[in-house]
Amino acid sequence: MIYGLGTDLVDVERIAEKIKRSEGFKELIFSAAEIDYCEAKTHRFEHYAARFAAKEAFFKALGTGWLSGTAFNQIQITHNTDGRPALELSAETKATIAAIGEFNIHVSLSHTKTVATATVILETR
Which residues are identified as catalytic? 60, 111
DSSP 92: H
DSSP 100: T
Q: Is 8 annotated as a binding residue?
A: yes
Phi and psi at residue 41, to the nearest 5°:
-90, 150
Q: Is 13 annotated as a binding residue?
A: no
Binding-site residue ranges for Mg(2+): 8, 56
Binding-site residue ranges: 8, 56
